Amino acid sequence: MTEPAPSAEPAVETRGLTKRFGRQTAVDGIDLVVPRGAVFGFLGPNGSGKTTTIRMMLGLAAPTAGRIEVLGRDMPAAWADVLPRVGALVEGPAFSPFLSGVANLHRIDSADRHASSRTRAIRVETALDRVGLASAAHKKVHAYSLGMKQRLGIAGALLRPRSLLVLDEPTNGLDPQGTREVRGLIRSLAGEGTTVFVSSHLLAEIEQMCTHAAVMSAGRLVAQGTLDELRAVGQSHVRLLTPDAAPAREVLARLGLRVDPLIPGEDAVSALVGETGIQPEAVVAALVAAGIRVRGFAVDGASLEERFVALTGEGFDVVAR
């Protein structure tokens, strides 16, 4: 996915943003920057402060300390000007189950004091078509699949043109087809210039959808940047295929690499390059000079999974649901 062009004014920017509930600090002094036009992944284990941060972004909760700007305006003070330009799907869509999809969207649109009733039908029809639900518009929502309900929730957020779309776990609980549909929709919105802020704990989804990401852990922002920047901070591995596994391990250790435990019966040897600065050519040269038979050699950069586990001390779901 193409990264957005640099912009002087981020879509979202926080400075020292903090939220406390009594003695508990849910969000602890975070400085978050979401570039305009980005698909921005907001990652972290459950309880890391993601949803509380989103609620403050949307003016649903007031910060205890710090500042937050959305589309260049202070929140929550400027909520009346900002929120009409922001679409949001937070903590799952909620609809009247015995009304149709189109009827539910009419109810949502009628609650918007900025929306003209004269063009409501066109807006609803366009939003349903946008998310691929035109053929199911008059079906009762209780008969919708979970993926259809998620798409209907996004349609509700798109009843008016939006500069920023905030989605909290948009693929949570979806089957592979529903996940692909939502992912494709997010990409198309970003391609039209909408900044999309996606909160998720599904690492595979962030890697496939996003241009940028930030990682929360225990209320703190522990990393942010482009996906390539986040990967680059991690440490690479060398992986070697050889019938001379034991002597190969000795050579790698002499070079200062941290060699992974040997798996009996396998011809694979791996080692962490770490901060040695040793180039791959030098590793291969040392192996050949020692008479090691090299059948395969590769250098793997740090994966996002490894990087996030190192940052948070917790694992992530890496397979999309």
User: Among 21-30, 112-121, 151-160, which range has the highest average pLDDT?
Assistant: 21-30
pLDDT higher for 29 or 274? 29
User: Among 177-181, 188-192, 287-291, which range has the highest average pLDDT?
Assistant: 287-291
Question: What pLDDT band is residue 317 in, cutting at 50, 70 and 90?
Answer: very low
Average pLDDT over residues 281-286: 90
| pTM, two decimal places | 0.74
Per-residue pLDDT at 116: 84
In sequence order, the 6+-apart residues with CB closer than 8 A to the CB of 47 are none
Lowest mean pLDDT among 4-13, 137-146, 265-274: 4-13
CA–CA gap between residue 17 and residue 55 (Å, rounded): 12
Per-residue pLDDT at 10: 94
Question: What pLDDT band is residue 6 in, cutting at 50, 70 and 90?
Answer: very low
Question: 302: number of CA atoms within 13 Å, CB side?
Answer: 22
Per-residue pLDDT reduced to its tens digit, 233-250: 556 778 899 999 889 999
Per-residue pLDDT at 55: 92
Average pLDDT over residues 284-288: 92
Per-residue pLDDT at 303: 59
In sequence order, the 6+-apart residues with CB closer than 8 A to the CB of 134 are 125, 128
What would the two tokens of residue 193 be?
A: 């210039």
The domain at 235-301 falls in which architecture?
Answer: 2-Layer Sandwich (3.30)
Per-residue pLDDT at 227: 83
The structural domains of the chain, with segments of one domain joined by +, span 12-232, 235-301
Question: What pLDDT band is residue 291 in, cutting at 50, 70 and 90?
Answer: very high
CA–CA gap between residue 63 and residue 20 (Å, rounded): 8
pLDDT value at 300 more than 90: no
Per-residue pLDDT at 136: 93
- Across the beta sheet with 258-259, the strand order is 258-259, 268-272, 237-241, 296-300
pLDDT value at 225 more than 70: yes
pLDDT higher for 96 or 276? 96
Q: Does domain 12-232 have CATH number 3.10.290.10?
A: no
Query: Which residue, among 77, 7, 12, has the nearest Cα to 40 in the 3D structure?
Result: 12
pLDDT higher for 237 or 97? 97
Per-residue pLDDT reduced to its tens digit, 115-151: 888 999 999 999 999 888 999 999 999 999 888 888 8
